[in-house]
Amino acid sequence: MTAISRVAGSIVDARPWIRAWEAVAERDGLRRLLLVLPTLVVLLVLFVAPLTAILRLSLLDPAPTARHYLEVVTNPTYLHVLGITFETAALVTLLCLALGYPLAYVMATVPGRLAGVLIILVIVPFWISVLVRTYAWMVMLGRGGLVNTLLLRLGVVEEPLRLMHNFVGVLVGMTHVLLPFAVLPMYSVMKNIDRDLLRAAENLGANRWQSFRRVFFPLSLLGVVSAAALVFVSALGFFITPALLGGPRDVLLSMLIERQVNDLTNWGFGSALAVVLLGLTLLVLIVFRRFLGTAAWGSVVEGR
């Protein structure tokens, strides 16, 4: 385009302002880069450099070694932690999709004003402290909590159920915290589905279920995959909720990292675990990169 307009300009020489504008635009591009520079410096010093230091720690302790990584992949205890981390993330993702899809569907199909109210109801919990929300579930699920009180009064159980400090607590808490991550990307795809396609299906004789299953659902899958990737990648590194609601056996990778660094000051091994978690996160991001555009993150942060 630049070349063509330059050629055109030199031949006709009737539109010199095109060239002027392009020169401005090119310089403008670099000027814009200058605006990003302070943030770039801050992130290089406070984010990239520390991450690099962690990578070095995991490999040099103090001499070059791969033993920390070998320990991760050969010790059955740590392999078990990796397995549980994946299993938890996968189950939480499924639960979030199952609960999030109907909610997103209703949000995308009710009249605008009501949809606005529903969006706020989904966003508000998202922006309330994860710690507070996890604590709320400790209050709900404890021996004298709301759930057990209800079950006892209704005569469903005779003894209070053990609902937290075990895997059930982890699943309930993480699903609760991550549900907005599933709802918002699905909603943002669903509300942009062309309603004419559904009208066309119904005009051609499809009933409402058929038009949903054959037209709406396939078109919404993009949102479903992006929601799944977002929830899964967030669940992989989750810390606060599993640490408070899980039992002694529900140790996730993030909790193992915290323990190695904070309690045992075992920096080499802790760093190797952190690099493994980082690698797994990046792997998921790369596999799903087509579904994780800025729009997916944007939809969660802004709720639009």
Under rule CB under 8 A, which residues in 126-155 are in contact with other proteins? 127-133, 135-140, 142, 144-146, 149
Q: Which of residues 184-213 bind other proteins (CB under 8 A)?
A: 188, 192, 195-196, 198-199, 208-209
Of residues 81 and 108, the one with the C-beta less far from other proteins: 108
CB of 118 to other proteins, least distance (A): 8
13: left (phi over 0), alpha (psi -120 to 50) or beta: left
> Residue 77 — φ and ψ, nearest 5°?
-60, -45
Under the binding rule (CB under 8 A), the answer on residue 22 touching other proteins is no
Under the binding rule (CB under 8 A), the answer on residue 106 touching other proteins is yes
Under the binding rule (CB under 8 A), the answer on residue 271 touching other proteins is yes
Of residues 28 and 87, the one with the C-beta less far from other proteins: 28
Q: Which two tokens stand for residue 48?
A: 């990239």
CB of 134 to other proteins, least distance (A): 8
> Residue 64 — φ and ψ, nearest 5°?
-55, 130
CB of 122 to other proteins, least distance (A): 7
Contact 189, 100 (CB under 8 A): no
Sorted by sequence, the CB contacts under 8 Å of residue 92 that are 6+ apart come out as: 171, 174, 175, 178, 231, 235
* Cα separations in angstroms, 140 against 88, 132, 156, 161, 200: 21, 12, 17, 12, 47
Q: Which of residues 222-251 bind other proteins (CB under 8 A)?
A: 233, 236-240, 244
Q: Compute the distance between CA of residue 276 and CA of residue 273 in angstroms, rounded to an integer.
A: 5
Q: Which of residues 41-100 bind other proteins (CB under 8 A)?
A: 42-43, 46-51, 53-54, 57, 99
Q: Which region among 3-11, 23-31, 74-82, 154-162 touches other proteins (by CB under 8 A)?
A: 23-31
Separation of CA 142 from chain center: 28
Q: Compute the distance between CA of residue 32 and CA of residue 22 in angstroms, rounded to an integer.
A: 15
CB of 181 to other proteins, least distance (A): 12
Of residues 237 and 247, the one with the C-beta less far from other proteins: 237
When binding is defined by CB under 8 A, the residue of 4, 12, 35, 63 that contacts other proteins is 35
